[in-house]
């Protein structure tokens, strides 16, 4: 990044400065001088505190390492271990019980239980698709996936499969919107009378579920219902292919699907410089101003995708009303670790990226705060903050946003905070982490992959860890998941905040998802991550089967489940011997996953994608999946389970596999047989230098290698221009 401009003692990438001043600030009431002076003060005053907290991480990790080394082969009690953790500050004393005091929360956060999407904000198409995924076609989701046990045949519409879809949909309506007698499968006509909704002169078992109608008279488009706070639209169109073959003219069942969406500036993006950050912020601005658009080419057709409008309808009482047409959008900032060359301080050092994200994303969201019928309807900005280690770091995030609010002239606690429970020190101190931001908390959630990556790194010196798959059945992970819900409920999150669960990583396995992901609402989570709009529609059916509020009340009445002892039980092999085949399989699985993700990240700047695993099953991969795989191999290397030569041989072998899997990508650059490319080198760094990466994070390695690639591409472009 060669072109920079000076702003209030800061050196700013020219494209970022131009975007802020020309595009983002107008309409907020904030002048350029106010903005840059505010950022300079934020960097000067909070930058040192940020660095001190990162040093605390390292100091605590050193103490953990030394303790594990000194206690190898020692039969110590949990109480001894717990006392040590308290002495280091790893564990803090819990204070008295309390309830969060968050105000101004939208119903998508406080009231409605349902799916949540996470998408890279740098990809406008993905961002628009996710925002528009508030509504999805159940018929399309069933027909086009393996949700019913098989995939659709190739070619034109298959009537037999369509009939199965309709039958599945009718059964869903029977469960969610039961008629006073009979079945939806027997309905031949529908109407609205003075008494409400009727199907063949039969009303609903719960008449209050009928909300209203879309359309009017001859242009009737459908009937709107509500179950467990989620809306269902039964579309009527006798002229459509599906409706014409339906006794009642039902053409589709539209589901309220992705209730909220996290627009991600972190794990799913590859943003390494000022140009990348500008693109992320520009798309966030388009979402907040509701003018983001993207030209889409499908076959011979080109169309423009924009944010959906609200759905207008007539209530059961005959009044005009509307339903929100878009997901509630949250924005995920980066954590406290990384710096960026996008902005340099007065000493020429990169500023903390988290400080830049906090000010920029909040300022951009002011366009929504100043509008009617936009994203947030109660004067809030929703920011998800990842990768925080313990209460002090959560308190620091709270302080950052208080300062941001002061700079922008916003009331304190305008910014609501989502706490990612994905680091061991945060899980162990979750109650106090929530207390540290009790006026802002709008979200806590669990994430197995990042959390496991930190589990391995934090206890690296304790011993060799179990294979990844085996960890899922160990006591710590169950305690982690249960405690997150139990502590969240104890701290008063019900009715004020989301308690979330992690991602379903296999977007092509919707049948398996339908079978497994019911476990998330059953666990008391009022939102859970899904990998696509289609998955959101299918997962939404789970929230019709179970009332999450009632389930949370049951769990709260039953008392806490997971224990701190279980949570802190490290999942090491503990004398278990693995076969040569088990070891080889684990090495190759991890190596393939790392390479498949890293090669797209480093060479193409793709931060999240569906990466085929070793068995060619597509998995959604982001930096969290890369973190656990690299830490797992680093751990086994450190403890002699595998050798450097074994791992390198697996990396070579799997590079050829990844090359084959990407053979259809014209932009792809093969790693084999030379193994000299920057992407392959990055993968090697993640594994062979994984033990010394801060908290086992992948960002430092990936960012450095991606910057090398971009510099080489820029130099090549200059050379080509000179030659021309």
Q: Across-strand partners of 234?
A: 223, 253
- CA 61 to centroid of chain Cα atoms: 27
Residue 52 exposed, middle or buried by CB count within 10 Å (0-12, 13-18, 19+) = exposed
Vertex 444, ends 440 and 445: CA angle to 5°? 160
Closest to 46 measured CA to CA, from 411, 388, 396, 390: 396
Q: How far is 320 from 324, CA to CA, in rounded Å? A: 14
Q: Are strands 250-256 and 135-137 parallel, antiparallel or unpaired?
A: antiparallel
Say how many residues make up the chain.
724
Closest to 434 measured CA to CA, from 50, 95, 108: 95
Closest to 335 measured CA to CA, from 357, 317, 366, 363: 357
Q: Is residue 622 flagged as an active site residue?
A: yes
Q: Are strands 190-193 and 339-344 parallel, antiparallel or unpaired?
A: unpaired
What's the DSSP call for residue 643? -
Q: How far is 165 from 253, CA to CA, in rounded Å? A: 10
- Give the strands of the sheet with 10-13, arranged side by side: 4-7, 10-13, 339-344, 350-352
Long-range Cβ contact pairs of 45-48 (< 8 A, separation 24 or more): 45/403, 46/352, 46/355, 46/396, 46/399, 46/400, 46/403, 47/345, 47/351, 47/352, 47/355
Q: Is residue 332 flagged as an active site residue?
A: yes
- CA 539 to centroid of chain Cα atoms: 15
Question: Is the bond into 492 cis (omega within 30 degrees of 0)?
Answer: no
Q: Give the number of other CB atoms < 10 A from CB of residue 600.
A: 23
Q: Give the number of other CB atoms < 10 A from CB of residue 26.
A: 11
Dihedral in degrees, nearest 10, Cα atoms 575, 578, 580, 581: -170
Vertex 440, ends 436 and 444: CA angle to 5°? 80
Catalogue the E-assigned strands of 504-583.
Answer: 527-530
- Among candidate residues 237, 482, 622, 685, the one labeled active-site is 622
Which three-class secondary structure string do you get for 289-345? HCCCEEEEEECCEEEEEECCCCEEEEECCCCEEEECCCCEEEEECCCCCCEEEEEEC
Q: How far is 192 from 316, CA to CA, in rounded Å? A: 8
Phi/psi of residue 312, nearest 5 degrees = -90, 145
- Among candidate residues 4, 282, 332, 706, the one labeled active-site is 332
Residue pair 292/286 in contact (Cβ under 8 Å)? The answer is yes
Q: Across-strand partners of 232?
A: 225, 255
Q: How far is 375 from 365, CA to CA, in rounded Å? A: 9
Q: Across-strand partners of 5?
A: 12
Residue pair 269/120 in contact (Cβ under 8 Å)? The answer is yes
Q: How far is 174 from 183, CA to CA, in rounded Å? A: 6
Residue pair 261/248 in contact (Cβ under 8 Å)? The answer is no
Q: How far is 232 from 227, CA to CA, in rounded Å? A: 8
Vertex 39, ends 35 and 40: CA angle to 5°? 115
Residue pair 594/687 in contact (Cβ under 8 Å)? The answer is yes
Residues involved in catalysis: 332, 622
């Amino acid at each position: 990044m060669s072109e920079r401009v000076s702003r209030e003692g800061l050196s700013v990438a020219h494209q970022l400065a131009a975007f802020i001043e020309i595009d983002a600030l107008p309409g907020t009431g904030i002048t350029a001088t106010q903005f840059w002076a505010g950022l300079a003060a934020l960097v000067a005053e909070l930058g040192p505190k940020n660095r001190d907290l990162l040093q605390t991480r390292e100091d605590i990790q050193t103490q953990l390492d030394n303790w594990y080394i000194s206690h190898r082969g020692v039969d110590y009690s949990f109480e001894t271990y717990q006392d040590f953790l308290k002495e280091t500050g790893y564990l803090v004393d819990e204070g008295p019980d309390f309830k969060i005091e968050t105000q101004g929360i939208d119903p998508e956060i406080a009231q409605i239980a349902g799916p949540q999407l996470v998408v890279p904000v740098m990809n406008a198409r993905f961002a628009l698709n996710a925002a528009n995924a508030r509504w999805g076609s159940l018929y399309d989701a069933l027909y086009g996936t393996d949700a019913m046990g098989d995939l659709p045949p190739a070619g034109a519409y298959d009537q037999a499969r369509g009939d199965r879809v309709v039958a599945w949909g009718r059964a869903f309506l029977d469960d969610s919107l039961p008629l006073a007698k009979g079945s939806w499968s027997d309905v031949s006509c529908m109407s609205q009378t003075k008494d409400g909704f009727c199907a063949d002169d039969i009303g609903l078992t719960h008449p209050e579920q009928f909300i209203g109608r879309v359309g009017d008279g001859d242009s009737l488009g459908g009937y709107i219902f509500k179950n467990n706070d989620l809306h269902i639209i039964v579309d009527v169109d006798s002229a459509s292919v599906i409706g014409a073959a339906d006794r009642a003219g039902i053409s589709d069942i539209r589901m309220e699907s992705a209730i909220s969406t996290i627009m991600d500036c972190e794990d799913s993006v590859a943003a390494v410089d000022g140009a990348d950050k500008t693109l992320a912020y520009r798309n966030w601005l388009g979402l907040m101003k509701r003018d983001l658009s993207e030209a889409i080419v499908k076959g011979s057709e080109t169309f423009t995708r924009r944010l959906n409008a609200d759905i207008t309808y007539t209530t059961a009482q005959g009044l005009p009303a509307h339903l929100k047409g878009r997901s509630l959008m949250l924005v995920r900032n980066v954590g406290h670790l990384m710096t960026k060359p996008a902005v340099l301080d007065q000493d020429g050092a990169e500023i903390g990226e988290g400080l830049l994200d906090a000010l920029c994303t909040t300022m951009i969201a002011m366009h929504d705060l100043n509008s009617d019928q936009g994203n947030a309807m109660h004067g809030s900005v929703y920011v998800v903050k990842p990768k925080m280690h313990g209460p002090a770091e959560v308190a620091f995030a709270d302080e950052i946003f208080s300062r941001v609010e002061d700079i922008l002239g916003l009331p304190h606690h305008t910014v609501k905070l989502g706490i990612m429970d994905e680091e061991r020190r945060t899980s162990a101190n979750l109650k106090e982490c929530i207390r540290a931001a009790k006026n802002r908390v709008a979200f806590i959630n669990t994430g197995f992959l990042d959390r496991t990556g930190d589990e391995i790194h934090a206890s690296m010196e304790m011993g060799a860890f179990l294979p990844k798959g085996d960890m899922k059945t160990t006591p710590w992970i169950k305690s982690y998941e249960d405690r997150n819900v139990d502590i969240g409920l104890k701290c008063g999150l019900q009715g004020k905040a989301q308690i979330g669960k992690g991602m379903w990583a296999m977007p092509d396995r919707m049948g398996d998802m339908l079978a497994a992901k019911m476990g998330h609402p059953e666990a008391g989570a009022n939102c859970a991550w899904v990998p696509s709009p289609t998955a959101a529609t299918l997962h939404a059916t789970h929230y019709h089967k179970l009332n999450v509020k009632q389930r949370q009340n049951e769990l709260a009445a039953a008392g806490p489940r997971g224990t701190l002892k279980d949570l802190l039980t490290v999942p090491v092999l503990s004398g278990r011997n693995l076969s040569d085949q088990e070891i080889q399989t684990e090495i190759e699985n991890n190596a393939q996953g790392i390479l498949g993700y890293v090669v797209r990240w480093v060479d193409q700047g793709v931060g999240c994608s569906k990466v085929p695993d070793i068995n060619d099953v597509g998995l959604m991969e982001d930096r969290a999946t890369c973190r656990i795989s690299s830490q797992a191999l680093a751990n086994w290397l450190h403890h002699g389970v595998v050798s450097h030569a074994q791992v390198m041989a697996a990396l070579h072998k799997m590079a050829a596999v990844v090359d084959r899997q990407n053979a259809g990508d014209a932009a792809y650059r093969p790693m084999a047989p030379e193994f000299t490319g920057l992407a392959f080198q990055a993968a090697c760094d993640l594994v062979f230098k994984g033990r010394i990466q801060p908290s086992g994070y992948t960002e430092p390695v990936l960012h450095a290698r991606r910057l090398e690639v971009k510099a080489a591409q820029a130099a090549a472009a200059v050379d080509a221009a000179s030659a021309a």
